[in-house]
Amino acid sequence: MRMTGALQSAGVASGDEVIVPAYDTGELARAVVAAAAVPVFADIDPLTYCLAPDAVGQVVTPRTAAVILVHRFGHPAEAAPLAQLAAGHGLLLVEEEDPAGLGGDVAQRRERARYLDRRLAGVETPEPAEGHRYQRYVVRVPGNGRPDRDAFARLLRRRGVECEVPVPIPVHRMREFRRDGWMLGETERAADETLALHSLDGLSEAELRRLVSVCNALGGLLQPA
């Protein structure tokens, strides 16, 4: 894995701790294990889905060697406060770009995201941010968490609207990484509520309008808990 090699080249040694997001597919944690280090999970910012600097600070120990910074779904992470925290503790800050949806026309994706931001109702749209590339357009489905989100996703698919749960299981809940004591509330809420809609690359205007129409018709059925 590229990240394994980057950690080894940077001097991460056996038994060192490396802080990673638990709102992930597990690939980063596995790369840390492959480098003979120990993944430690920190919570995310609920608006960006990237590591929250305050949460990272709470899990730093004398064994911590590095923090892996990820720009999630194209939303830029808070690099400056994480860099300051890493420097203050003498840690490596290793940057990893989320590979999902790399390429495509960024300007076009932003235009389509603005269209959806203005018109979607019944779901919570992504937080706008300077530099957001919208590699994935991820919404939150209100209601009672996972049961409502999963039902909403099934209904979208039945009506021909593509969607995907981006993180079905937070990494700290996976069997290979599960340990007692992890309290990552924002990560777990995001895993229960988030839904990635159809890729914005290549969508026609008619498909965008249909996406809005179907989502809005279904979203009104769900009420926040």
Question: What residues contact residue 173 under an 8 Å CB cut-off, 6+ apart?
Answer: 22, 188
Burial class of residue 173 (count of CB atoms within 10 Å of its CB; 0-12, 13-18, 19+): middle
Cα–Cα distances in angstroms (integers) from residue 220 to residues 122, 140, 149, 191, in the given order: 5, 13, 13, 21
Structure tokens at 224: 């926040």
Burial class of residue 35 (count of CB atoms within 10 Å of its CB; 0-12, 13-18, 19+): buried
DSSP-derived pairing of the beta strands 163-164 and 92-97: unpaired
Q: What is the per-residue pLDDT for 181? A: 72
Element (H, E) at 75: none
pLDDT digits (tens), the chain, 225 positions = 688 888 888 889 999 999 999 999 999 999 999 999 999 999 999 999 999 999 999 999 999 999 999 999 999 999 999 999 999 999 999 987 655 545 679 999 999 999 999 999 889 999 989 999 999 999 999 887 888 999 999 999 999 999 999 999 999 999 999 877 778 999 999 999 999 999 999 888 999 999 999 999 986 555 544
Q: What is the per-residue pLDDT for 22? A: 95
Tell me 104's DSSP state: S
pTM of the model: 0.90
